Amino acid sequence: MTELFTWPALVALAAGGLYGAVFGSVPGLTATLAVALFIPIAFFLDPILALPAIISISAVAIYAGDVGSVIAKIPGTPASAAYVEELHGLSRRRGPGYGLGISAMGSAVGGIIGTALLIFSATSLAAVAKNFSSFEYFWIAVLGLTAGIFASSGSSLKALVSLLIGVMFSTAGIDPTLGYARFDFGNPNLLGGLNYIVAMIGLFGFSEVLQNVFARGEVAGTMPADKGAPLRQFFVRPVLLMLRNKLLVVRSSLIGTFVGFLPGAGADIGAWVASSFEKLSGRRGDADTEEEDRVVLAGTSSNNAAVASAWIPALSLGLPGDTVTAIVLGVFMMKGITPGPMLFEQQATLVWSLFGAFLIANLVLLPLFGFLTARIATVVVRIPLNLLLGVIAGLCVVGAYAINNNPFDVFVMVAMGVFAFLLRIGGFPLAQVVLGMVLGPILEQNFMVSAIKSRWDLMAFFDRPIAIGLMIGTVIVIAIGVRIKARAARA
């Protein structure tokens, strides 16, 4: 690990963190895209520099996706969409520095817990992941979708409709199992399906612009300034919040770690399950610990814990835990490194440097660059609303185009914005649409694969112990959700 404390390594870590903070703050420019654009530079760097830089980029960029949620209610990642309403709401109530402070501190602690589990149990957790088949992944998708229905603060029926709309959107393009084109309407741009990042920018960002333009005097004023010293708002108050909710942080981090180490699952599902669990708990805090704060803390803790644990299958099995580690495996191949159980013996120096990079990124870089982005956000939110709406609309166009450099995505983004504006008028939640688009392909593909290999014997979905456990978890979520909604209706 001593190689990590050389000047070139520290500069690579710091530069990666700064790059991730700037990149992740722009709607549509995700951590995956940031890492992908870094690969040409990584080709010329030693692995001891390139891989820690990638860790720094991804850890900070995942947090920076919450900056758009605070300023303009535009989540930078699908995971951020799980708690975008709560994060924007508490930022309007207590200032952007406090909202981003909860996000940064929660992400840092979650990342540290995920890293600790990565260090001490990578091989054993990877062995558990090997036992997951298409049946288990199907039930994980069902569990995530079910939790999303009852996580809505409004009508569960409207949340279900939004979820089904998202699942329907996810079916556009090539059928993942049979290879047939569907719902492409003769347009080749739709053969690859609807990009959920593009859709998310339209659903949250562009619809917010339309909402404010057509509000006719009902536009909310500019966000209030932080109440208190910046350091206290960003560091002290969020840390006190976490101390009052230690079990929540640990539970959410463990949920993120569990979901993150499953190959292909990633941080998105973990953040949705953790934040939905907190919403379902219905626990109201005291005057200093309100429900919005707890939901955001749960989502951010789970988010970065999953970022660290996604490296478990990548290092131990050579299987990508998410899109970032899929790119990392390409870097391994490019550098002649073979991931797997022998990596911990043959490349022990590199592995411990990766562990150290995770700790530095979460302990130092994330709070540091998080504070800088929070200070910038407090300036941005003071811009007059009319001017800010123009900037947001421009960022929506740039972000949608930058993902695939395709003008068609801009039209999709605008169409999604108009559609989301109509959903808002009807009182339908938007986050569930994104959840349906994210989990829809996972649900469909694993259902079809499981059905085909079991010769359409649906009882096979209930044969495996882990699958039965996940099914029971889904039933419990439904029972708790129905009970809480009924209690709220009576109240």
**Of 340, 380, 298, 280, residue with least CA distance to 126:** 340
Torsion of CA 128, 131, 133, 139, to 10 degrees: -60
**Of 215, 198, 252, 168, residue with least CA distance to 74:** 198
Q: Are 98 and 91 in contact (CB under 8 A)?
A: yes
The whole-number pLDDT of residue 404 equals 82
What's the total number of domains in the chain?
1
The whole-number pLDDT of residue 288 equals 42
Q: Are 13 and 56 in contact (CB under 8 A)?
A: yes
Sign of the dihedral defined by the CA atoms of residues 61, 23, 81, 175, in that order = negative
Residue linked to tokens 């207590």: 94
Inter-axis angle of helices 134-151 and 465-490, nearest 10: 10
Q: Give the span between the Cα atoms of 256 and 268, in whole angstroms.
A: 9
CA distances from 189 to 68, 169, 396 (A): 27, 14, 19
DSSP per position, 209-220: HHHHHTSSS---
The encoded tokens of residue 401 equal 């185009």
Q: Which residues pair with 173 in a beta bridge?
A: 182
Is 396 buried (19+), middle (13-18) or exposed (0-12) by CB count in 10 A?
buried
Task: Give the list of residues 6+ apart from residue 427 with CB closer than 8 angstroms, or none.
Answer: 154, 155, 158
What end-to-end distance do the CA atoms of the chain give, in Å? 57
Q: Give the span between the Cα atoms of 349 and 3, in whole angstroms.
A: 8
**Of 230, 181, 197, residue with least CA distance to 437:** 197
Q: Give the span between the Cα atoms of 145 and 148, in whole angstroms.
A: 5
CA distances from 344 to 69, 125, 214, 301, 354 (A): 39, 15, 58, 27, 11
The whole-number pLDDT of residue 418 equals 94
Question: For residue 422, how many C-alpha atoms fall within 13 Å in the half-sphere facing its CB?
Answer: 6
Per-residue pLDDT of the chain (491 residues; tens, 9 = 90+): 667 788 888 999 999 999 988 888 877 677 777 888 888 788 888 888 888 999 999 889 888 889 888 887 888 777 788 888 889 888 888 888 999 999 999 999 999 998 888 888 766 766 676 777 889 889 988 988 888 887 776 788 898 999 999 999 999 988 887 888 898 888 898 888 888 888 888 888 888 888 888 865 444 445 566 666 788 889 999 999 999 999 999 999 998 888 777 765 666 777 878 888 887 775 544 444 468 899 999 999 998 888 888 888 788 777 677 778 878 888 887 778 888 777 777 888 888 888 999 999 999 989 999 999 888 888 877 777 778 788 888 888 888 888 788 899 999 999 999 999 999 889 898 888 888 888 888 899 999 999 999 988 989 999 888 899 989 988 988 888 888 777 767 76
Classify 55 as helix, strand or coil. Answer: helix
Provide Rg for the chain, Cα atoms: 21
The whole-number pLDDT of residue 326 equals 77
CA distances from 97 to 71, 105, 108, 246, 374 (A): 11, 12, 16, 22, 5
Phi-psi region of 185 (alpha: psi -120 to 50; beta: other; left: phi over 0): left
Q: Are 53 and 47 in contact (CB under 8 A)?
A: no
Q: Are 82 and 220 in contact (CB under 8 A)?
A: no
Q: What are phi and psi of 173, to 5 degrees?
A: 105, -155
Residue linked to tokens 């911990």: 344
Question: For residue 428, how many C-alpha atoms fall within 13 Å in the half-sphere facing its CB?
Answer: 22
Residue linked to tokens 């970022």: 307
Q: Give the span between the Cα atoms of 292 and 241, in whole angstroms.
A: 12
Biggest CA-to-CA distance, the chain: 66
Q: Which residues pair with 174 in a beta bridge?
A: 181
Q: Give the span between the Cα atoms of 285 and 90, in whole angstroms.
A: 14
Sign of the dihedral defined by the CA atoms of residues 34, 40, 43, 48, in that order = negative
Q: What is the extent of the structural domain holding 402? A: 2-490
The whole-number pLDDT of residue 132 equals 79
CA angle, residues 142, 148, 151, in degrees to nearest 5: 145
The encoded tokens of residue 255 equal 């949920």
**Of 324, 232, 299, residue with least CA distance to 79:** 299
Q: Which pairs count as long-range contacts for 284-291, CB under 8 Å and 24+ apart, including other chains? A: 285/244, 285/245, 288/240, 288/241, 288/244, 289/241, 289/244, 289/245, 290/90, 291/86
